DNA sequence: GTGAAAGCGCTAACAG
DNA sequence: CTGTTAGCGCTTTCAC
C-alpha cells in the first residue's frame, strides 16, 4: 500500500527531498510551517523511510548484534540468558535500535554467522557474550572494525572493552557468609571450568577460605557447567565426602544439588546448607528459599547497551571496563537468615582500575 | 582494515564489478578460472560485501523479525520463549538469515517498534507471537506489506497465516487420561484467559469431560496466567474444593500448583494427580516426574521459519496454516505411569482444514 | 530555511 | 561467460 519514497512525499508537499529528509530526521533547520505540512503528509500517506537506503547513505544501521557463542553451554536452558536478552532488548528500544540475535549453535553456525557479523552496513556494534575460551570468533571480532563490547571478562583483556560483575568479591562474600555461620566442610560446585566467570568465582571462594585461615579439601570442589543437571550430578559426587555447606556457582546448579540432597534423605540447611549465585526469580519461591548472590542481570544488559552506544557514537576508545557489584541475598538455604543487607549500587568508571571501590 | 568495495576487488582481479558480484553470490555464470582468481583475492583481502548496499539494490535484507507483543505476559520468565527463540535462531542460521528480536515491553515500546517493523528495506518477513488479543500491533502488521506468520492461533483467523499446535486435541487427550484413571473431581488451571492458547485448551478439557458424560464443577476451574506463581495461587484457591486431579495448562503452573499441594501436606499423585502442558526439560527431572503434553517447541520455531521463508520466496499465499500435534507423555504425577505412547509426527497441510487428521 | 547534486556500494537486466 | 549501464532510496555537503 505504501511504496512511496521520499521523493513522492516531497512532491506532495511541494518541497525538495532534502527538506522531507530533514523533517524525518528531526533536523532543526526546517521552518515550522514547512515541517507541519510535511509531517501531515507523512501521517496521511503512512510513509516510512526505507531502512536499507538510509543505512547506505548514512553509514548507520541502528542495529546492534547480541552474539552468544557456542562455547557458552546451555545458553537458553539457563534463565540467565533470557533475562540478559530482555535487558538488552529493552535498552535497544529506548535507543531506537534494533537488536539482532546471533545464537551460535556449533562450528557450522559459527562459519555461517561470522561473515554476517563482519559485513559492513549490517551492525553498528556488537555485544559478545564471553565464552569458555577466547576462540576464533572472539579473535575475528576484536580485530574487526565493529565497535565491540564483551559481556563478562574475556580471557585476553588487553585492549578489549568489557562489562562484568565483580565475581571475585561476590563469591568471596558468599563464602565468607558460610564460614561466619560456622560451617566446617564447605564445598563448591563450579561452573564451566574454562569460563572466566567460574574462574573468578573460584578465586573469590579461595580468598575467603584463605583469609579465614581454612584449608581447602580438594574433594569438596566439584566441576559443574552451570546447568541444573550438572549440579545434581556434582552433588552426588560430593555427598560421600560429607560437606556441611555448598557454594554453588549458579542458582540452577544449587537447585540441582538440593534435589540430590533431598533424594539422599538429608535436610536443608540442617545437614547441608546452600548458597547460590544469580538470584533468579525462582530462588525466592523455592520450598527452601535460596540464599544467593544477586546479579543485576537485566540492568547489566541495559548498561551494556548504553556503553556500546557510547562507543559507537564517540568512536571506540581504549579499554573501557565497567564492573557492577553483586550483593549477597540471605534467605533460608544457608541456615542463617537474619540481616538482609541492601543491594549496593553498581559503580561505574573507566581506565585501568579493575574493581569498583567497595 | 577492509573498507574495500566490490570495485576494488574487481580492479585487483582485472574483471568487472558484475563478475565479482556473481562470484560473491555464487552465480553459475562465471568461468572456473575467473571464479578462482576472484575468490582468492576476496580471501586475501578479507572483503565482505556491504549489507545495506546489497539490500537496497536487491530489495532483500535476509533478515526476519521475531515479535513478542506485550500482551504476552511473562515472555521470558516462561521457558517456552527461550526455547522457541532458539528454534527460530537455529533455523535462521540454516537459511543464512539474520534474526531480529522485538520484545514489546509496554505501550511506549510498541509505538517505538511498530514503525521499525513497517519500514521497507528492514525485514523480509515477520514472525509474530499471538498475544492475548489481536491488538493494534497485530492489525497494523497484517495490513502491511510484510510477509507475516503468526505463532499460535490468532483471534481473527481470516486470511492470516499461522502455525500452531493442536491445543484442543492435546488438552482433550490429557483430560481423558485423567478421566480414564478414575479421578472424580478433575480441576483445571487455565492460562491467561484471553489467549487463544488457553481458550483452545479449555475447549479440549470440556470436550473430554462432555464425552465422558461428566459435568464440570465451575469451582474447579481457576484462572492462571501461565506463570509459576499463578499456578501456586490458583492451587491455593482450588484446594478447599478438594480436587483429586488437576490439568494445568502449562508445566510451570503445574510446578507452582504442586508446590502448593505439598505445602498443604498432601501427596502427589495420591491425593492430587497432575497433568501439565509443554514438557519442558524440567518436567522429567522433578522429584515427582510430571505427566504432560509434549510441545515440539524448538521444532515449532524451525517450522515457522521454514514456512515464513516459503512465503517470502513464493509471495504470500492465501491463508496457510500448519498445525502440529502435541502428544501426552505419561510419567508419575498422574498416578498412572505405564504405557508411554510414541510421539506422533506433526502433519502439514494447507487450505481451510483446521486440524490434522489423527 | 531550502534546494540541487553527488554519491553510499551493490544488483540486475541487457548486450555482446 | 563477461562487461556496461542503470538504478535501489536516502543523506549530506554546498550553494543560495
pLDDT at position A349 over 70: no
- Structural domains in chain B, CATH included, are 6-58 (1.10.260.40), 63-165+298-324 (3.40.50.2300), 167-295+327-355 (3.40.50.2300)
- Is strand D within 7 Å of residue A313 (CB)? no
Where is pLDDT greater, at A156 or A280?
Answer: A280
Nearest nucleotide over every DNA/RNA strand to the A31 CA, judged by C1': C1
Is strand C less than 7 A from the beta carbon of A51? no
pLDDT at B228: 86
Close Cβ partners of A87 (under 8 Å, ≥ 6 residues apart)? A297, A298, A299, A300, A301, A302, A304, A305
Can you give the pLDDT at residue A350? 33
pLDDT at B346 over 70: no
What is the pLDDT, as a whole number, of residue A355? Answer: 31
Q: Which residues of A touch B49 (CB under 8 A)?
A: 119
Mean pLDDT calculated for residue range A89-117: 93
List, for residues A16-39, the tens digit of each pLDDT value. Answer: 999 999 999 998 888 888 999 999
Asked if strand C comes closer than 7 Å to B54 Cβ, the answer is yes
Dihedral sign from CA coordinates of B14, B16, B17, B20: negative
For B124 and C15, how far is CA from C1' in angstroms? 32
Strand D contact at CB of residue A5, distance < 7 A: yes
> Across A163-167, B67-71, B136-140, which has the greatest mean pLDDT?
A163-167
Biggest alpha carbon distance in chain B?
84
Task: Tell me the C-alpha distance between B293 and B327, whole Å.
Answer: 5
pLDDT, residue A134, reads: 62
Q: pLDDT at residue A351 above 60?
A: no
Q: Which nucleotide is nearest to A19 (CA to C1')?
A: C2
Distance, CA of B59 to C1' of C16, in Å = 28
A173 neighbors A293 (Cβ within 8 angstroms): yes
Mutation for A interface: B48, B72, B106, most A CBs within 10 A: B48
Q: Cα-Cα-Cα-Cα dihedral of A297, A300, A301, A303, to 10°?
A: 160
* Average pLDDT value over all residues in chain A: 88
- Most confident region among A98-107, A225-234, A294-303, B176-185 by mean pLDDT: B176-185
B45, B70, B82, B262: best to mutate for the A interface, most A CBs within 10 A? B82
Confidence of residue B233 (pLDDT cuts 50, 70, 90): very high
The position carrying cell 510446578 is: B255
Asked if the model's pLDDT at residue B200 lies above 80, the reply is yes
Q: Tell me which of A201-210, B78-87, B165-174, B180-189 is least confident.
A: B78-87
Q: Which nucleotides of C are covered by protein (CB under 7 A)?
A: 1-5, 7-13
**B143/C9 CA-to-C1' distance in Å:** 32
**Per residue in A205-261, pLDDT tens?**
999 999 999 999 999 999 999 988 899 999 999 999 999 999 999 999 999 999 999
Of A6-15, B81-90, B334-343, which gets the smallest average pLDDT? B334-343
CA B262 → C1' C15, Å? 80
Cα(B193)–Cα(B249) distance, integer angstroms: 11
| Predicted confidence (pLDDT) at residue B309 exceeds the cutoff of 50 | yes
Q: What is the pLDDT of residue A74?
A: 63
Q: Which pLDDT value is given to residue B131?
A: 76
The whole-angstrom separation of Cα A184 and Cα B289 is 35
Whether residue A70 is predicted with pLDDT greater than 80 in this model: the reply is no
- Higher pLDDT residue, A83 or A240? A240
**Which residues fall within 8 angstroms of residue B79, CB to CB, at 6 or more apart?**
A77, A79, A82, B252, B278, B280, B282
Closest residue (Cα, C1') to D5: B18
Residue with the bigger pLDDT between A336 and A29: it is: A29
Q: Which of helix, strand or coil describes residue B329? A: strand
pLDDT band of B315, cuts 50, 70, 90: confident
Partner residue facing B48 (CB), from A112, A119, A262: A119
How many residues comprise chain A? 358
Interface contact flag, B76 A86, Cβ < 8 Å: yes
Amino acid at each position: 500500500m505504501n511504496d512511496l519514497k521520499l521523493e513522492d512525499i516531497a512532491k506532495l508537499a511541494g518541497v525538495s527531498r532534502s527538506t522531507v529528509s530533514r523533517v524525518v530526521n528531526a533536523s532543526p533547520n526546517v521552518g515550522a510551517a514547512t515541517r507541519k505540512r510535511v509531517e501531515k503528509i507523512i501521517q496521511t500517506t503512512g510513509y516510512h523511510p526505507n531502512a536499507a537506503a538510509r543505512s547506505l547513505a548514512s553509514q548507520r544501521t541502528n542495529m546492534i548484534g547480541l552474539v552468544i557463542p557456542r562455547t557458552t553451554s546451555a545458553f537458553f536452558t539457563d534463565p540467565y540468558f533470557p533475562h540478559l536478552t530482555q535487558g538488552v532488548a529493552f535498552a535497544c528500544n529506548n535507543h531506537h535500535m534494533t537488536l539482532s540475535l546471533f545464537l551460535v549453535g556449533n562450528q557450522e553456525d559459527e562459519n555461517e554467522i561470522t561473515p554476517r557479523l563482519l559485513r559492513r552496513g549490517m551492525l553498528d556494534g556488537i555485544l559478545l557474550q564471553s565464552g569458555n575460551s577466547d576462540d576464533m570468533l572472539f579473535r575475528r571480532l576484536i580485530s574487526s572494525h565493529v565497535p565491540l563490547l564483551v559481556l563478562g571478562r574475556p580471557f585476553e583483556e588487553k585492549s578489549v572493552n568489557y562489562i562484568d560483575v565483580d565475581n571475585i568479591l561476590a563469591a568471596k562474600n558468599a563464602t565468607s557468609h558460610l564460614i561466619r555461620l560456622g560451617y566446617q566442610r564447605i564445598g563448591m560446585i563450579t561452573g564451566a571450568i574454562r569460563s572466566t566467570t567460574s574462574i573468578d568465582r573460584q578465586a573469590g571462594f579461595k580468598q575467603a577460605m584463605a583469609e579465614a585461615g581454612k584449608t581447602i579439601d580438594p574433594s569438596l570442589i566439584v566441576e559443574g557447567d552451570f546447568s541444573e543437571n550438572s549440579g545434581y550430578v556434582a552433588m552426588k559426587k560430593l555427598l560421600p565426602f560429607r560437606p556441611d555447606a555448598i557454594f554453588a556457582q549458579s542458582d540452577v546448579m544449587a537447585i540441582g544439588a538440593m534435589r540430590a540432597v533431598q533424594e539422599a534423605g538429608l535436610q536443608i540447611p540442617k545437614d547441608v546448607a546452600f548458597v547460590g549465585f544469580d538470584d533468579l526469580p525462582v530462588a525466592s519461591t523455592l520450598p527452601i528459599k535460596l540464599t544467593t548472590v544477586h546479579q543485576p542481570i537485566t540492568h547489566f544488559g541495559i548498561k551494556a547497551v548504553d556503553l556500546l552506544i557510547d562507543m559507537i557514537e564517540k568512536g571506540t576508545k581504549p579499554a573501557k571496563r565497567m564492573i557492577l557489584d553483586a550483593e549477597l541475598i540471605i534467605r533460608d538455604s544457608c541456615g542463617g537468615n537474619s540481616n538482609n543487607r541492601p543491594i549496593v549500587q553498581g559503580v561505574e568508571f573507566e581506565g585501568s582500575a579493575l574493581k569498583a571501590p567497595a
